[in-house]
Amino acid sequence: MALEPFRVPVPGWEGASGGFFYLPEFLSFSESDSIDAAPSLKWKQLAHRRLQSWGGQILERDGRLVPEPMPPFLTTHPRLLARIRDTTAFHDSIHKEPNHCLVNEYMAGQGIMPHNDGPTYFPAVATLSLGGHVLLDIYPWREAREAYPTTPLFSILQEPRSLLIIQGDAYRNYLHGIAERTQDDAPRMANVANSAQLSAPLNDLVDAARRGENVLCSRERRVSLTFRDVERVQRGLRIGR
């Protein structure tokens, strides 16, 4: 699959490697429902969301992955791992495909601070969205001791069943986060960079926001599946069977 037709237009991106790529309707409705309904005993309750981790444990001391088998809902129907591999987002990585997946559940009003996924992973991340929409806010890079940025450069609106790929310089040089709010108002909707790639009614709301109309887009429960490739794997040791 060629990713270029799915590129999110970002001002000033010319000459940089990688980018932001938005693939709408990556899953069918039935595929989305089957993944969301997959049973799991692995939910971990965090302060602002619930989390599952698949593919193994990442060691804090050196960032190596102690691998474990992926669950059937990622490897069989609807063949998520294979389909993400086919996007070519991980073509230049050691393993050519993701070997780790985080599943996050966000309720309306929950989010995550601006962050960068760091050097543990190959510089690409693929995030599948289920349930409600979300605005992923993109910020300029900051050093660890600097204050968190408060104003995003732009946002990417992720529709249900869509896949967002962040690759190369976009992975290395930007932060991404989700603001903790229950509704997205007109100024925030007007800052969406991928409006031309959206379907109705969300693209209509973005257009209305840019015309200065007073629009509100309410958030709902959302589940994200974030796929990465941990390049350093602990050989000869596995968790599980």
* Fold that domain 4-230 belongs to in CATH: Jelly Rolls (2.60.120)
Mean pLDDT of 128-152: 85
Written in H, E and C, the secondary structure of 40-69 is CCCCEECCCCEEEEECEEECCCCCCEEECC
The closest alpha carbon to 49, from 166, 180, 226, 165, belongs to 180
pLDDT averaged over every residue in the chain: 91
Q: Which pair of structure tokens corresponds to residue 42? A: 């692995």
Q: State residue 238's pLDDT score.
A: 52
| Band of residue 241 on the pLDDT scale cut at 50, 70, 90 | very low
Does the structure show a pLDDT above 80 at 236?
A: no
